[in-house]
Structure 1
Amino acid sequence: MTFRPRKRFAQHWLRSEKALQRIVSAANLSGGQALVRPTQSDEGLPDDIVLEIGPGTGLLTRRLLRLARAVVSVEIDRDLVKLLQKEFAQHSTFHLIEGDFLSLDLDAALANQPAFQTPNKVVANIPYNITGPILEKLLGSIHQPNPRPFDSLVLLMQKEVAERLCAKPGKKTFGALSVRVQYLAEADWICDVPARAFQPPPKVDSAVVRLRPRPFPTPATNPRHMETLVKLGFASRRKMLRNNLKGIVKDVQGEGSERDTLTDLFTRLNLNPQARAEDLSVSDWVNLSNTLLSEGSTALPEVPAEEEIEAIAPIPPAL
């Protein structure tokens, strides 16, 4: 049976064998009946249970089943669910959940499936128009990280968003999203995936990124304060950060202007007083937040919602 990708689900199915292999390799799976056995350096790795979001027609699913101990796939398209149920009916290590991943309670869905509980890795070709919400559900936020983080997430996404996740300080692509994600995880660029690798081809190129969640080496004293500070700092990217932060610094010594206080603060933190938000590393943001708190500046003004600052614009499907 042939299925046409559906516009309302923003479906673009990956057909490139090269890209599929790069995704599987990046996931570094163990526990399945691999065509190529793990090397000696891989011995001792725990068997992996993979959460796959949006399996589509199952091209990637089949490869994951060869390499992982088990695969849990979440698919919203009812017709594809029927196809996948038939395609993998003989695979005892495959469990399919029909539903919207964003509203899914994964623990509840797997409560009666002991062989599939607690997936430790994620592999997904995520729809462009819900990239942000999916990232937040998988990683959490600075002030509320996922309490049970995955070992790794290998995600195929819009190239523009991938560039933000992996961006280095000082680059125009480095923004609030970069800070949040890199505070929660190490981000590695795996490969580019051109539009022609999909059926139908989207209007933009894609990329594969691997995220490895971990506690930040020097955590923020008050993660919510840091999160708000980052939003405020990037609210007007063209301005010097010092100007964006006006109104949050209390002159503890009772003399001197707020500008002087901020300049002194930046100097003590080895930051350029003329720096923009994109020039600060994640560690710089942590240090800035912690220092502000230690010196009495605990109140932050309301800032626009993130969608107004650095929205990830939905990309119209190519259909």
Structure 2
Amino acid sequence: MSYPRKRFGQHWLRDPQVLHTIVAAARLCPSDRVLEIGPGKGALTQPILEQVQALVAVELDRDLCAALHRRFDPLGNFLLLQGDVLALDLHRLLADFPAFQSPNKIVANIPYNITSPILDLVLGTLDRPRTPSLETVVLLVQKEVGDRVCAAPGSKTFGALSVRCQYLADCEMICAVSPKAFKPPPKVESTVLRLNPRPCPTPAQNPAHLDRLLKVGFGAKRKMLRNNLKSVVPLDRLDAALEQLGIDLTIRAEGVGLQQWIALSDRLSQPQPGGIPDPEYSPTPSP
């Protein structure tokens, strides 16, 4: 018998209702090709396989792989890869398995300690969105992360992560999940998060520049936005841009919504009067 391993961040989901909710949130259909990250003992794997064309599962724990092979290989639409999903070249590994190539959906109960890189994996970054994009991503995550991803401007949880995720996808929390739904129970509340990646309706002219502004702008959340950004943007130019966009000069970063961040980035990346472009912005404030 395999026991959950702390070093892998393993908390096995056991609640049938939560399992059903996760699978339903993925809106599966017979033509889907799903990537499951960390299948564990296969609690989610079984109901997914019953509804889709193909499922690729990536499991880091070697000791779990033998049982997963025995249980699901006979079904014919299951492929298991052993390794770290953040390190594997899935495109290359799946080249020899045409039926499993280019998953269009991801469903996962992920280790909470790698949530940020998993979000980068499934969405990409502002300047390099994942290509091709996924149709749907359903993740079981720490509630604190779900709150931040879906937060509205002005809330205490709204931050750079909120802006980046909402730039790249429609974000929705499906349901709360109690620690009692897991074995062993984690010390935190969890939530089912659904992401539907799509192009940003009004993309930034320079997404990399927007990303740099977010890093600096949210660098010290208790400060006013202009006090954070003045280390990388001349204060007179910054104040003029904020006033032109109707943004209060005393606002903090969490009070600026996605569209305002995009507009501010576009305004600050325009050439200065006289045709002189702004210098490259640094993600780290100057001393």
TM class by smaller structure: over 0.9
- Establish whether residue 75 from structure 1 lines up as the match of residue 75 from structure 2: no
1:223 paired residue number:
207
Could you list the per-position Cα deviations for residues 149-195 of structure 1 after superposition, in whole angstroms to 9, with x for gaps in the alignment? 11110000111111111111101101111111111111011010010
Following the alignment from structure 2 to structure 1, what is the Cα–Cα distance between the partners of residues 46 and 147? 29
Deviation of residue 69 (structure 1)? 1.3
List gaps (5 residues or longer) in structure 2. 273-277
- Paired position in structure 2 for 1:300: 281
Pairing partner for 2:38 from 54, 64, 70: 54
Question: 1:156 is matched with which residue?
Answer: 140
- After TM superposition, the score normalised by the length of structure 1 is 0.85
Could you say which residue in structure 1 is the equivalent of 2:94?
110
Where does the alignment leave 5 or more consecutive residues of structure 1 unmatched? 32-46, 251-257, 305-319
- How many pairs are equivalent? 280
Distance 1:102 1:302 in 2: 24
Whole-angstrom distance in 2 between the partners of 1:290 and 1:281: 14
Query: Please, what is the CA RMSD of the aligned residues?
Result: 1.3
| Map 1:86-235 → 2, pairs under 5 A | 86-235=70-219
Matched-pair contact (CA < 8 Å) for 1:292–1:298:
no
Counterpart AA for 1:12: H
User: In 1, distance between residues paired with 2:26 and 2:265?
Assistant: 34
- Counterparts of 2:167 and 2:221 in 1: how far apart (Å)? 20
Note the alpha carbon deviations across 1:187-225, whole angstroms, 9 max, x for none: 011010010100000111110100111111111111111
Percent identical: 51
Q: Distance in 2 between matches of 1:80 and 1:272?
A: 55
Deviation at 1:298, TM superposition (A): 4.3
Contact 2:233/2:281 (CA < 8 Å) preserved in 1?
no
* Structure 1 consecutive aligned stretches of length 4 or more whose deviation exceeds 4 Å: none
State the SS of the aligned residue for 2:174.
strand
Match of 1:236 among 220, 224, 228: 220
- 2:17 corresponds in structure 1 to 18
Superposition deviation, residue 140 in structure 1: 1.1
**Which residue of structure 2 aligns with residue 267 of structure 1?**
243
Q: Distance in 2 between matches of 1:85 and 1:50?
A: 17
**Is the 1:75–1:97 Cα contact (8 Å) retained in structure 2?**
yes
Supply the distance in 1 between the matched residues of 2:85 and 2:228 (Cα, whole angstroms).
Answer: 37
How far off its partner does 1:131 sit? 0.7
Q: Secondary structure at the match of 1:88?
A: helix
Distance 2:44 2:97 in 1: 22
The alpha carbon displacement at 1:263 in A equals: 3.1
Letter in 1 for 2:284: V
Q: Secondary structure at the match of 2:3?
A: coil
